[in-house]
Structure 1
Amino acid sequence: MEQFIEIYIKNLVRDAISHTLSGLELQHDRKTYVIGNWKMNNMVAEAAEFFHDLKSNKNVSVVICPPTQLLYPAHLLIKQSGKPIALGSQNVHWADQGAYTGETSTSMLLDVGCEYVIIGHSERRQYAGEDDQLVNKKVKQALKTGLTPIICIGETLEEKNSRQTERVLTTQLFGALKDVSSSEVIIAYEPVWAIGTGQSATADSAQQTHAYIRSVLKQILGPQAVGISILYGGSANESNAADYCVMPDIDGVLVGGASLKAQSFDGIINVFAKGEKSK
């Protein structure tokens, strides 16, 4: 079995490299996203200031994912601003409703204006014990109810150093998308070693990994995988956004710390609004 897995992954890597070099899918019209994950930051007053100051850009799909208690205030502030900004949650439960203290259902998220939900973030996997099976249940629930899941995957520093990146990403993708046929998902590649550390993958390295992710998605979902947006996360900011935006398989970024202030977040949005994919 181990030998079979190694051969399988090597074939996917070969396909990914071939795709990157050929650039044959560059003309596919994938959405470009700049998504802000506020994590456990900001209050109502700070959110009001943010949405007032944020300029946004209609050429990029902008999504803000604030803490749960800010979802409805954020919904009202976005509506008041009239700006093309979508709302997302940082987490969701897999059940429709029930005795799940402290949890939030998809219907509740939809009720306060959410369109997207982050699922499987490495911090949830680490601190809340979420595994691929739970991620899969949440993805299915989100798709069933009309929310777009932003599925996070990524390897730790130890896994990277032991050359396990492809194996980890393959396992996470197959786990998250088990028995899923819909392509209405977003994939966010967030190397765990880069999140909040100030380190980030080089644009070329990230492109190779994104191409590999798309090759795995093709195995799972078939030709429709070409239309799935794959975002980079992990210390994405104004300084490195320009390098990422020109890569053919990097369709945007999932931003942490740099999304807390409107000025820095707008800078990233503008980079992707003006950027052109490399050819």
Structure 2
Amino acid sequence: MEHSIENYIKNLVRDTIGQALGGLQLQKDRQTYVVGNWKMNNNFSGTAEFFQEINSSNNVSVVVCPPTHLLYPAQLLIKQQKKSIALGGQNVHWADRGAYTGETSTSMLQEMGCEYVIIGHSERRQYAGENDEMINMKVKQAIKSGLTPIVCIGETLEEKNLLQTEQVLKTQLFGALKEIDSSQFIIAYEPVWAIGTGQSASPELAQQSHAYIRSVITQIMGQDADTISILYGGSVNEKNAADFYAMEDIDGVLVGGASLKAKPFDEIIAAFAKGEQNL
């Protein structure tokens, strides 16, 4: 009974917010994205199966970010299947070329069909030692080369418990966007404590952080902040996607595990496409 009442209240809040937002022009002016980050998963056969089965939508921008070795096959499959899906890399180097063993340049990503690139993911910060200065150089390089960076920010569980979320997000934003005079980027808010844990932030909590992020981008860029798409990431799945869409400052999602198979990812796309149709 408690779960039924809780679900009823959640749906009521979501529907009320959705109706209230329906008349707002601001959200219509920002592009809606559903981005899949495969991380170090999948293979050739799985990639072929995915792009054969996946649907695409004209209402939202769908981006898939496979491991580097799967990018070119993915490009061929997208063309063969005539799907309206863009490709993105999971990482990039800040140099055009050079003696950087194991790294990938923007031109290499573009040659494999990429239009987007994920930069500053918490796993890169943790395992590869990336800091705000390195992330800033990568963002600049991506924009200079014509790639759209998806810049990831987010607090750890310890930082959340110490009530440092806003401080962390502000520091990461000012670091990543230092001396950036272009609005050709996307922000992905991924609370580290929610990534791959099944413990997603509530839509209301995510909206609170997204609104704060937009206020910080306004400090950095002025009114152009209203045009920047901010995505939520962290245990997003086909069951909770619609709840996130209903929030004013959530312009899409960055999906991990649920993007590896076509069916759940399709359902997430459909949730956002349906919301766009209702605006």
**Shared fold, TM over 0.5:** yes
What is the CA RMSD across the aligned residues, in angstroms?
Answer: 1.8
Q: Deviations over 1:84-133 (max 9, x none)?
A: 00000000000000000110000111111100000000000000000000
Describe the shift of the 1:97–1:265 C-alpha distance in structure 2 as closer, same or farther (beyond 3 A).
same
Describe the shift of the 1:266–1:24 C-alpha distance in structure 2 as closer, same or farther (beyond 3 A).
closer
Q: Deviations over 1:40-71 (max 9, x none)?
A: 00001100000000012111100000001101
Q: TM-score, normalised by structure 1?
A: 0.90
CA distance in 2, matches of 1:138, 1:176: 9
CA distance in 2, matches of 1:249, 1:278: 17
Query: 226-235 vs 27-36, which deviates more?
Result: 27-36
Q: Are positions 1:176 and 2:160 aligned together? A: no
Could you say which residue in structure 2 is the equivalent of 1:234?
Answer: 234
> What residue identity is the alignment partner of 1:137?
M
CA distance in 1, matches of 2:272, 2:25: 19
Check conservation: 1:26, 1:277, Cα contact below 8 A. Answer: no
CA distance in 2, matches of 1:135, 1:248: 27
Q: Deviations over 1:235-266 (max 9, x none)?
A: 00011101100111000000000000000000
> What residue identity is the alignment partner of 1:264?
P
The sequence identity of aligned pairs, in percent, is 73
Check conservation: 2:231, 2:254, Cα contact below 8 A. Answer: yes
CA distance in 2, matches of 1:181, 1:258: 34
Could you say which residue in structure 1 is the equivalent of 2:17?
Answer: none
Alpha-carbon shift at residue 28 of structure 1 (Å): 4.8
Check conservation: 2:27, 2:249, Cα contact below 8 A. Answer: no
Q: Deviations over 1:119-157 (max 9, x none)?
A: 000000000000000000000000000000000000000
Residues 19-168 of structure 1 aligned to structure 2 (within 5 Å): 26-168=26-168
Alpha-carbon shift at residue 275 of structure 1 (Å): 1.3
> What residue identity is the alignment partner of 2:214?
R
Could you say which residue in structure 1 is the equivalent of 2:187?
Answer: 187
Alpha-carbon shift at residue 269 of structure 1 (Å): 0.2
**SS class of match (1:35):** strand
CA distance in 2, matches of 1:232, 1:278: 21
Q: Deviations over 1:11-43 (max 9, x none)?
A: xxxxxxxxx99x976355100000000000000
Describe the shift of the 1:197–1:54 C-alpha distance in structure 2 as closer, same or farther (beyond 3 A).
same
**SS class of match (2:88):** strand
Where does structure 1 lack aligned partners over 5 or more consecutive residues? 1-19
CA distance in 2, matches of 1:27, 1:74: 31
> What residue identity is the alignment partner of 1:69?
H
Check conservation: 1:230, 1:250, Cα contact below 8 A. Answer: yes
Misfit runs of 4+, over 3 Å: 23-28, 276-279
Where does structure 2 lack aligned partners over 5 or more consecutive residues? 1-19
CA distance in 2, matches of 1:170, 1:63: 26
Check conservation: 1:117, 1:149, Cα contact below 8 A. Answer: yes
CA distance in 1, matches of 2:38, 2:113: 17
Check conservation: 1:91, 1:118, Cα contact below 8 A. Answer: yes
CA distance in 2, matches of 1:68, 1:120: 16
